[in-house]
Amino acid sequence: MKRIAFTMAEILLSLTIIGVVAAITLPSLTGNINERTWNTQRKALYARFSQAIALMPSLNGYGTLDDTTDTAAETFVTEGLSKVLKINNICDSEHLPDCGVPDKFTNIVGSTINEFPKNFVALNKMFDGSFSASTGDGGSVYYSYKQKDTKAAAFETQNGESIVAYYNPNCVADMGETGWHYVQPKICANFVYDLNGSKGPNTVGKDIGFMTVLYPSDSVVVAPMPLAKYSGGAYHQNAGALCQSVDSESRLPNRDEAAALFCNKTLLGVEALEVWTSSLLSPTVAWRMDYHTGHRNPTARNSNRAVWCVKR
C-alpha cells in the first residue's frame, strides 16, 4: 500500500508562505480593528457629552475673565461639567500629563506638536490675533480679533479618556446673523480628547479628536473628524460631490462644524483661506468659514472656494 505525505521541505515552504502573508496582512487587520474601536469610542464619548451639555442650564458665567484667567476652565469643569458628567481627576494647565494627556502628538497632516496646547490662543492664534489681506486692487484690509485668553484644564473620565478643556466664560448666543461675523465669541468650550490617554498612537484623526460647544444656551455640540487632505476647490453646488469622490463617508461640514475646525487649527496643521460649509442662507447663498480670520461669511454659491471634507 502506497502512502502519500508531505516532505519536510514542502511543510517548511508552506509555513514560510503563511508567515509572509501574515506579515503583510496583519498590520492592515490590526489597523482596521483599531479604527473601528476608535470610531465606536468616539461616538460613545460624543453621545455622553451631548447629553451632559444638554443638562447644563447655561455654559457661560463660570468664573470671570477679570480675575480667573488662569482658572476659568478649572472652574467650569469642577462647578459645571462635573455635576452632569462622571469625572475622576482634574489637572491644571501646568500638569496636563497627570491626567493622561500626552506630552506631544501628531496633527492631521503628520507634523509632530511637541507641547499640548495650554490655552485658547495655542489652539488658534486668531483668538487673539490679526490678519492682513490684499483687496485685489492694490490695497489691503486688516482684520483683528481679541478676547482675553484662558488657560486649559484637563480631566479623566471613568471610561479612561483624557480630555483637555478650553473655556470662554463670556461666550454669546447665535443672533441669527445674516452678514459676516466673528465666530470666536460664540465658542463656549472646546474639548480635545485622547481616547486611550498617553498610549499611542497619539495622532489626530485616530485616538485624538475634538468636540466644540457653541452658544451658552440651546448649545450645539459638534465633533467633526476632518480628512487628512483637502479635496480641492469647487462651486458650492459641486462641493458635496467632491467630498464623496474623496471618501464615500465624507461630507461638507455645517457652519458650526466648520467653526470647530477653525478653533482647533493647531491640531489640523492645515492653512485654508475660505472654505465652504453645507449651511445655506438662501437658495443661492451658502455660509463659508474663513480660517485666517474667524469670519463666517455669506457667499454666492456660484463662487469657487476651498473644500475641506469631514466625517461625523
C-alpha cell at 199: 498610549
Residue 26 has pLDDT above 60, yes or no: no
Name the residue with higher pLDDT: 23 or 88: 88
pLDDT digits (tens, 9 = 90+) for 128-168: 988 887 766 777 888 888 988 899 999 999 889 999 999 99
pLDDT of residue 312: 80
C-alpha distances in Å from residue 35, one per residue of 42, 49, 117, 197, 211:
10, 21, 25, 16, 18
pLDDT digits (tens, 9 = 90+) for 202-220: 999 999 999 999 999 999 9
C-alpha cell at 219: 448649545
What mean pLDDT do residues 122-129 have?
Answer: 92
Distance of CA 219 to the CA centre of its chain: 17
pLDDT digits (tens, 9 = 90+) for 74-117: 999 999 999 999 998 999 999 999 999 998 999 998 999 999 99
Please answer whether residues 51 and 81 qualify as being in contact, where contact means their C-beta atoms are separated by less than 8 angstroms: no
Name the residue with higher pLDDT: 261 or 269: 261
Residue 226 has pLDDT above 80, yes or no: yes
Other residues' Cβ atoms within 10 Å of the Cβ of residue 44: 13
Please answer whether residues 149 and 121 qualify as being in contact, where contact means their C-beta atoms are separated by less than 8 angstroms: yes
pLDDT of residue 37: 86
Name the residue with higher pLDDT: 245 or 32: 245
How much is the mean pLDDT over the chain? 88
pLDDT of residue 283: 96
pLDDT of residue 292: 87
pLDDT of residue 130: 86
pLDDT of residue 4: 61
Confidence class of residue 233 from pLDDT cuts 50, 70 and 90?
A: confident
pLDDT of residue 263: 96
Please answer whether residues 51 and 43 qualify as being in contact, where contact means their C-beta atoms are separated by less than 8 angstroms: no
Residue 296 has pLDDT above 70, yes or no: yes
Please answer whether residues 251 and 239 qualify as being in contact, where contact means their C-beta atoms are separated by less than 8 angstroms: no
Confidence class of residue 29 from pLDDT cuts 50, 70 and 90?
A: very low
pLDDT of residue 67: 52
